[in-house]
Structure 1
Amino acid sequence: MPFNLASWLSRYGTFVALILLIVFNAIATPNFLSLQTFNVNLTQVATIVIVAVGMTLVIATGGIDLSVGSLMAIAGALAPMILQGTIVPTVNPLLTLPLAFILPLIVVAMLGWFNGFLVTRYSIQPIVATLVLFTAGRGIAQVMTNGNLQVFKNDAFQFVALGYVFGIPTQVLIMIVVVAAAAFLVKRTALGRQILAVGGNEKAARLSGIPAQRVKRLVYLISGVLAGLAGLIVVARNSASDANLVGLGMELDAIAAVAVGGTLLTGGRANILGTLLGACVIQLVRYTLLANGVPDAAALVVKAALIVAAVYIQQSAGPGRT
C-alpha cells in the first residue's frame, strides 16, 4: 500500500505537533520546563478541553455549537448572584453552595436542549440555530448583571478551580473525568454508537430505529452542561465574573481543538483523545506566541489557519480512512 502523507498526518499529526511545540519551547522559551509554567498551561487548557469534549459530540452528529461561549457567560453570571443572595436572598446558607453549582448547570442544560430543539424540530442548520444563543446568550448574561463585574470570594465554591487533590489541580481532575467519561460514552455505550451513526448517515440511522432527534437534542444538552461547567471554573479561578469576557472566543478554541484533534467536521466520528491533544496544541500555540512577543491577536489567525489545515488534511486523507 503506498504511503499516504495526509492519512498519516490525520492519524498522528496532532501528537507530532504537540511534541514539536514542547521541544521548541524547551529550547527557546525560558522557564518553560518549570513546574509553574506546566501548571499554568495545564489549568488554562482544562476549560478548553471540557468545552471541546461537548463540541466533539455535537460535531460527531454532523452539527456545530456556536453558543458555548455565551452559555459559559450565563452560568458564570448566575453562580455569583446565587452566592451573594441576589437571586434567592432567603435561601438556606447550607443550600447556597450546591445551588450555585446546580442551578446554572440546569439553566445551560435547558438552553443547550433548546439549541437541539431548533435543529431537530424546525430543521434549522446547526450553525444558524446556535447563532441565536451565540448572540442573545451573552446579552442575557449582560442584562442579568447590568454589565457589571461581579467580584466575590467563596473558598468552597472556588475549590473547583483553585483547589488541589493529591497535588493535582481540581479543574485538571475534572477535565480528566470529563474526557474519560466521554471516551467511555463513545466507545462503550449504545448512545455513543447512535451518535456516530446519526453523524455518519442520519437517514440510515432513522431507518435502523435510532431516535435521531432525541440523540441530537441530548448532545446539545451535554454540550451546554459542559460549557456551563467551564464557565463556573473560569469565574471561580478569577474570583470574579464579567459577562462581557467569560467564554469570549471559546467557540473558536473548541472547534479548533476538535478539528486539529482529528474529528471529522462532517460528522460520524468522535476522537475524544484527539480533542484533548488538539486543545493542548491550541494552548501551547498561544503560549508560544505570547512567550516570544507575538501579540495575542495573532493567535486568532493561527487558530483559524490550524482549522483550515486540519480540514484540508481530513479531505486529503479520503473518506475511507479509519
Structure 2
Amino acid sequence: MMDSIAAKNGHTCIDWGQNIRKYGTIYAFLLLVMFNILFTRNFASMGTLWNLTIQVLPTMLTSLGMVLVISSGGIDISVGSVMAISAVTSGLVLTGKTPLLGTDTGMAVLAALVVALVLGLFNGVLVACFKIQPIIVTLILYIAGRGIAQLMNNGGTIVFYGNTFTEIGLYRVGGLVPVQLFVSILFVWIIAFLLKKTTFGYYVQGIGENGKAARLSGIRTAQVLISVYVISALLAGMAGLFECSRASCADPNAIGQLAEMDAIAAVAIGGTSMNGGKARIMGTIFGALIIQLISIMVNMNNIPFAYSRIFKAAIIILAVYLQREKRR
C-alpha cells in the first residue's frame, strides 16, 4: 500500500518537473506580472500593457530570427548591427541623402530590407559554404556593422518628422491598440508555421540535431543555413525600421545596442537548446516578454538600468540549468 502511494507520489513529482520545464517560461512571466501588480505603482494599467506591446516588438522580431539560427545549431550576434545599418539606410533615403532613391517611404523600407538581406547572405554564405564558425562570422559583422552604420552618416543621428514612415511606428488601430501588437502576432505566426508545418522547418531542426546525418540524408544543408541567416537578418532589419520609425530618428550609436543579447536570452529562457535541435516558439515569445518586462519593471521602480542586466543574467542561468537537467 505504502509502496503504491510512494510510486504514485513519485510519478506526480516527475510529471510536475516536466511540466515546469515545458511551461516554466509562462509561469515565470505570470509570476513577474503578479509581482509587479503588487509592488510596482501604476503597473496594472492599459498604458503599461500597450507600452510592453510597443517596446517588445524589436526583441520579439530578433528573437524569432534567433530561434531559427540557434535551432539550426548556430548563433547570430550581429542582429543589433543589422538593425542599426537598416535604420540608417531608411533614414538616408527619407531625408533625400540618396538622390537616386527619392524620399518615398516604400523605397526607404525596401532599401533597408535589401541591405539586411545582403548582410544575411554574408553571414549565411560564410557559415554554410566556407564552414566558418557562426560565432566568428557574426562577430565580424557585429563589430564592423556598427562601424559601417556610424560611417554612413558620419556618426550623426538622422532625424525625420512628419512623414508616413514615422506615422507607422506611432499608429494605433482604432486609436487604441498599437500596430506593433499585430506585427508581432503576424511574424510569430509566420515563423511558427515555417518551423512546425513546413519541410524547411524540419530541415532546420534536423541540421541542428545532427548536421552530418542531415547531409547524408540528402538535405541541402547549405541552402537551408543561408536561408536561416537571411531570415534572421531580415527580421533584425524590420526591428530596426520599427525602432527608428517610433523614435522619428535613426541613431547608429544606439539602435540595436545589446539587441543580440536580449534575443539570445529570450531563446535560452524559452527552452530552445543552445546546442541546436527542436525550436520552442511559445517559450521564445514569453522569453521576449520577460526580457522586456524586466526593463519596464526596472524603469518604473527607478532602479538603475544596470540591474536589469543582472536580473536577465540570473534568469538565463536558471533556464540553462533546467535544460541541463532535462538532458540528463
Aligned match for 2:13, one of 3, 7, 15: 3
Question: Could you tell me the percent identity over the aligned residues?
Answer: 43
Bigger CA radius of gyration: 2
* 1:82 alignment partner, one of 88, 93, 97: 93
| Residue 132, structure 1, aligned to residue 140, structure 2 | yes
Partner Cα distance (1:228, 1:237) in 2? 14
In the alignment of these two chains, the number of paired residues is 316
What displacement does 1:294 show? 2.0
Counterparts of 1:218 and 1:256, CA distance in 2: 22
Distance in 1 (CA, whole Å) between partners of 2:141 and 2:17 is: 36
Partner amino acid, structure 1, of 2:142: F
Counterpart residue type for residue 120 of structure 1: A
| Equivalent residues of 2:93, 2:101 under 8 A apart | no
Report the alpha carbon displacement of residue 208 of structure 1 after superposing the two structures with TM. Answer: 1.1
CA–CA separation in structure 2 for the residues paired with 1:259 and 1:284: 16
Q: Distance in 1 between matches of 2:167 and 2:275?
A: 38
1:203 counterpart (181, 200, 212): 212
Identify which range, 131-140 or 292-301, moves more after superposition.
292-301
Displacement of 1:122: 2.0
Whether 2:228 is the aligned partner of 1:216: answer no
Contact between 1:163 and 1:169, CA under 8 Å: does it hold in 2? yes
Say whether 1:264 aligns with 2:267.
no
Match of 1:117 in 2: 125
Deviation at 1:295, TM superposition (A): 0.8
Match of 1:51 in 2: 62
Pairs within 5 Å for 1:1-322: 1=11, 3-4=13-14, 7-87=18-98, 89-91=99-101, 96-166=104-174, 167-318=176-327
- Relative to structure 1, the CA distance from residue 252 to residue 90 in structure 2 (aligned partners, 3 Å threshold; closer, same or farther) is closer
Distance in 1 separating the partners of 2:53 and 2:267:
18
Query: Residue 73 of structure 2: SS of its match in structure 1?
Result: coil
Q: Partners in 1 of 2:198 and 2:162 — Cα distance?
A: 38
User: What 5-or-longer segments of structure 2 have no aligned partner?
Assistant: 1-10
Q: Which amino acid aligns with 1:3?
A: C
Distance apart, 1:90 and its partner CA: 4.8
SS at match of 2:132: coil
Cα distance between partner residues in 2 of 1:186 and 1:25:
34
2 CA distance for matches of 1:144 and 1:25? 41
Distance 2:111 2:76 in 1: 22
- For residues 204 and 160 of structure 1, the distance between their equivalents in structure 2, rounded to whole angstroms, comes to 45
* 2: CA distance, partners of 1:300 / 1:188: 35
2:93/2:102 contact within 8 Å kept = no
Report the TM-score, using the length of structure 1 for normalisation.
0.94
Following superposition, the deviation at residue 6 of structure 1 comes to: 5.3
User: Residues 33 and 200 (structure 1 numbering): CA distance in 2 closer, same or farther, change over 3 Å?
Assistant: same
Q: Secondary structure at the match of 1:226?
A: helix
